């Protein structure tokens, strides 16, 4: 049975259903309880599950993230909510030095089944300390699984398997997706391994994830009006990357553009580009293109924020450049 | 106070118990002296942080814990591992980085773990273990278990944000954590009064409304008595407890440390009041143990260490093919 709901509602329903299904699951973070969640994802959960399992925390990102890691080691299945990826830098020590390393350092004796959710991305004029996309910082780290659900279905269906994962999972929700509506089938299962083809095409492969996926699909629709059939790959899982899916797409289309809201230098787009170069270089008809954020802290004014981020015209231009077509479509 | 509680909260200084305490401290001391020697022979590499001088704390506190309590320690944790009951063979093999080490060789001196003993490492980020202890205790609380999580750390950790965040969380949520601060007065080479505006560490915990006390960490009887009181409070569900044990590190911070920050005289003075020399002198004077008992302990320990070295030497290196093992459950 499917329903039409928002990404926000789907994210909240996923947490609700996981807590209802397993008494070991609880959520903690800043303002998840009495406030109802900064992005209203956890609204109503406190009334349903009480303050033990919907745990408001002080503004101690490192402390409560570490506590989530410890609770996971102690047999619970915590969902830690960090308000945004920008604040997660205060918890980076716990995530990188503890969650990601404990299994290895202990020779496999300890594991950390924690899920850490956080909002990411720009588009709400929140300026440079609330707008960054640092997903690739986490995607760099062995020992973590990094998810970027872009659809209503994924943000709902990825949580349950993430909680079943015996190892730490970082789950990114792009702030511009919360109000987006989509179709949800609560009984559908998804995997935490593979990328998804969101649109089939033969001329070029556009690779994206998270909030940029929808801009990429919009660009693909506009390219189609000009007779260019773009295939759109939604990475879904940023670590480990499902290279097979994007490489076989690029083998077919012989051209690729990566759309990534992270800054270009050292980006996930750079990693994907390198993998394409390593694996399918001789089958490429054009250099791999990248559409990333400008190398600037995200500015506050609307026009400057928009100029800093990947936008549909830039994606179209990059695709056309890869196809050897200059200028505006006729 | 009931008789049962008296027993639980007061160490009984019987001959057997004194023998046990002394043997544990000597065991750690001699093990580490051997490690220093093996380091100069390049059998042990990387960092090596010796606990020599601080043994009374690990031994005294560990004796107050139950088998299913959790213990977290720092990168100076060989003593805690041994006192917690990890087999010396496995600890020594870990120092070598061998397959039969307590962490399969992957952690080394700073990352000794043992799931069976609930020994949760060996954490080499100063202050990094405190939030984990809070979380382990939270899991116990939420699952209705009466276990205690004990977290050891140095006074240097008190300068970290994670220390303060953990003090607050543990008290706010009344969690069963015993925080044990091993205050050796130097964070690497920086003396306490050069780095802290409030040098009375246990007062910091008190400011979070946590029961806290400072004890002479060179006096094992005092440490054990305080630890038993603290553990009883925590286990009773009264929330966390903070124990500051004032101590001194006789050796360098690590094997790379030329110790420019303190005088040899200062170390010599402190060594005279060391935990082993003091306790050994007291049990001899009191006639609880005799020189023959001490000799027997030394002989036992020497034998155990020889066996541990032989075990570590004989253990295999991990095969290169296993390099990527233990990164995640699913490779």
pLDDT means over runs of 10, chain A (330 residues): 95 98 98 95 97 98 98 98 96 98 98 98 94 97 98 98 98 98 96 98 98 98 97 98 98 98 98 98 97 97 97 98 75
- Give the closest of B101, B134, B140 to A63, CB-based: B134
Instruction: Please state the domain extents for chain B.
Output: 11-312
Least Cα distance to B229 among B215, B209, B248, B247 occurs for: B215
- Is A59 part of the contact surface with chain B (CB cutoff 8 Å)? no
Exposed / middle / buried, residue A128 (Cβ in 10 Å: 0-12, 13-18, 19+)? middle
Give the active site residue among A61, A135, A173, A305: A61
Residue range B48-105, pLDDT digits in tens: 999 999 999 999 999 999 999 999 999 999 999 999 999 999 999 999 999 999 999 9
Interatomic CA distance for residues B125 and B157, integer angstroms: 9
Q: B100 Cβ partners below 8 Å, 6+ apart? A: B89, B90, B93, B311, B312, B315, B316
Where is the domain boundary, A140, A165, A185? A185
Query: How many structural domains does chain A have?
Result: 2
A286 plus A249 within the same structural domain: yes
Top residue of B326, B329, B330 to mutate, by most chain A CBs within 10 Å, is B326
A38 plus A181 within the same structural domain: yes
H or E, element range at B190? strand B190-191
Where is the domain boundary, A136, A157, A185? A185
Annotated active-site residue A9? The verdict is no
A96 plus A203 within the same structural domain: no
Q: ∠A48-B168-A78 over CA atoms, to 5°?
A: 40
Residue A74 maps to a domain: yes
- Is B15 part of the contact surface with chain A (CB cutoff 8 Å)? no
Domain B11-312: give its CATH superfamily: Thiamin diphosphate (ThDP)-binding fold, Pyr/PP domains (3.40.50.970)
Residue A327 maps to a domain: no
Residue A329 maps to a domain: no
Top residue of A19, A23, A109 to mutate, by most chain B CBs within 10 Å, is A109
A154 plus A229 within the same structural domain: no
Residue range B118-152, pLDDT digits in tens: 999 999 999 999 999 999 999 999 999 999 999 99
A284 plus A144 within the same structural domain: no
Residue A191 maps to a domain: no
Annotated active-site residue A140? The verdict is no
- Is A105 part of the contact surface with chain B (CB cutoff 8 Å)? yes
CA distance A165 to chain B (A): 8
Beta bridge partners of A171: A117, A147
CB-based contact A73 B106, cutoff 8 Å: no
A139 plus A207 within the same structural domain: no
H or E, element range at A25? strand A25-29
- Is A169 part of the contact surface with chain B (CB cutoff 8 Å)? no
Residue A190 maps to a domain: no
Residue A328 maps to a domain: no
CB-based contact A98 B139, cutoff 8 Å: no
CA distance B236 to chain A (A): 20
Domain residues for A275? 196-322
> What CATH number is given to the structural domain containing A92?
3.40.50.970
Where is the domain boundary, A185, A217, A250? A185
A181 plus A260 within the same structural domain: no
> What CATH number is given to the structural domain containing A283?
3.40.50.920
> Coil, helix or strand for A77?
strand
A283 plus A247 within the same structural domain: yes
Q: Which residues of chain A are within 8 Å of residue B171 when distances are taken between CB atoms?
A: none
A64 plus A174 within the same structural domain: yes
A91 plus A23 within the same structural domain: yes
A203 plus A152 within the same structural domain: no
CB-based contact B327 A104, cutoff 8 Å: yes
A133 plus A11 within the same structural domain: yes
- B59, B60, B65, B67: CA torsion to nearest 10: 20
Residue A226 maps to a domain: yes
- Is B68 part of the contact surface with chain A (CB cutoff 8 Å)? no
Give the active site residue among A9, A30, A81, A130: A130
Interatomic CA distance for residues B85 and B66, integer angstroms: 12
- Is A76 part of the contact surface with chain B (CB cutoff 8 Å)? yes
Tens of each residue's pLDDT in chain B, 331 residues: 333 444 566 778 999 999 999 999 999 999 999 999 999 999 999 999 999 999 999 999 999 999 999 999 999 999 999 999 999 999 999 999 999 999 999 999 999 999 999 999 999 999 999 999 999 999 999 999 999 999 999 999 999 999 999 999 999 999 999 999 999 999 999 999 999 999 999 999 999 999 999 999 999 999 999 999 999 999 999 999 999 999 999 999 988 899 999 999 999 999 999 999 999 999 999 999 999 999 999 999 999 999 999 999 999 999 999 999 999 997 6
């Amino acid at each position: 049975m499917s329903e039409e709901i928002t990404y926000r509602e789907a994210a909240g329903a996923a947490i609700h259903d996981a807590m209802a299904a397993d008494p070991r699951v609880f959520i903690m973070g800043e303002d998840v309880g009495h406030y109802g969640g900064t992005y209203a994802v956890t609204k109503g959960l406190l009334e349903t599950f009480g303050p033990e399992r919907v745990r408001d925390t002080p503004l101690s990102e490192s402390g409560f993230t570490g506590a989530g890691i410890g609770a996971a080691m102690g047999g619970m299945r915590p969902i830690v909510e960090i308000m945004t990826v920008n604040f997660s830098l205060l918890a980076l020590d716990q995530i990188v030095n503890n969650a990601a390393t404990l299994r290895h350092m202990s020779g496999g004796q300890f594991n950390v089944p924690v899920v850490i959710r956080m909002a990411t991305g720009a588009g709400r004029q929140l300026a440079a300390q609330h707008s960054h996309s640092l997903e690739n910082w986490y995607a760099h780290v062995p020992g973590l699984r990094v998810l970027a659900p872009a659809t209503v279905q994924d943000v709902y269906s990825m949580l349950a398997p993430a909680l079943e994962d015996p190892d730490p999972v970082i789950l990114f929700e792009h702030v511009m997706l919360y109000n987006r509506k989509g179709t949800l089938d609560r009984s559908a299962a998804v995997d935490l391994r593979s990328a998804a083809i969101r649109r089939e095409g033969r001329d070029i492969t556009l690779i994206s994830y998270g909030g940029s996926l929808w801009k990429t699909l919009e660009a693909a629709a506009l390219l189609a009006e000009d007779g260019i059939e773009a295939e759109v790959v939604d990475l879904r899982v940023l670590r480990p990357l499902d290279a097979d899916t994007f490489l076989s797409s690029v083998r077919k289309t012989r051209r690729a553009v990566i759309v990534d809201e992270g800054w270009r230098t050292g980006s996930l787009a750079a990693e994907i580009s390198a993998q394409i170069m390593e694996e399918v270089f001789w089958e490429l008809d054009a250099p791999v293109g990248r559409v990333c954020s400008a190398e600037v802290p995200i500015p506050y004014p609307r026009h400057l924020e928009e100029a800093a981020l990947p936008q549909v015209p830039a994606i179209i231009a990059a695709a056309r450049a890869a196809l050897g077509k200059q200028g505006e479509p006729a | 106070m009931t008789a049962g509680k008296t027993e639980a909260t007061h160490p009984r200084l019987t001959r057997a118990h004194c023998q046990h305490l002394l043997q544990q401290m000597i065991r750690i001391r001699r093990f580490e002296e051997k490690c220093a020697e093996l380091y100069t022979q390049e059998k042990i590499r990387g960092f090596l942080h010796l606990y020599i001088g601080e043994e009374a704390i690990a031994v005294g506190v560990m004796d107050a814990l139950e088998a299913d309590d959790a213990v977290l320690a720092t990168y100076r944790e060989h003593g805690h591992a041994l006192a917690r009951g990890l087999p010396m063979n496995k600890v020594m093999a870990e120092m070598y980085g061998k397959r039969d080490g307590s962490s399969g060789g992957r952690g080394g001196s700073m990352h000794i773990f043992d799931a069976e003993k609930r020994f949760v490492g060996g954490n080499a980020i100063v202050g990094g273990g405190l939030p984990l202890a809070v979380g382990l205790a939270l899991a116990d609380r939420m699952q209705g278990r009466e276990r205690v999580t004990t977290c050891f750390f140095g006074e240097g950790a008190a300068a970290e944000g994670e220390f303060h965040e953990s003090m607050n969380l543990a008290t706010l949520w009344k969690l069963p954590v015993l925080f044990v601060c091993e205050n050796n007065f130097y964070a690497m080479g920086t003396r306490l009064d050069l780095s802290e505006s409030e040098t009375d560490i246990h007062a910091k915990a008190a400011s979070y409304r946590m029961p806290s006390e400072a004890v002479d960490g060179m006096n094992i009887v005092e440490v054990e008595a305080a630890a038993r009181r603290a553990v009883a409070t925590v286990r009773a569900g009264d929330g966390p407890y903070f124990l500051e044990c004032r101590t001194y590190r006789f050796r360098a911070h690590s094997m790379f440390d030329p110790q420019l920050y303190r005088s040899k005289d200062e170390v010599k003075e402190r060594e005279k009041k060391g935990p082993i020399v003091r306790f050994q002198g007291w049990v001899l004077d009191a006639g609880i143990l005799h020189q023959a008992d001490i000799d027997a302990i030394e002989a036992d320990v020497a034998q155990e260490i020889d066996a541990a070295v032989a075990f570590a030497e004989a253990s295999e290196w991990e095969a290169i093919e296993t390099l990527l093992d233990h990164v995640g459950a699913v490779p």
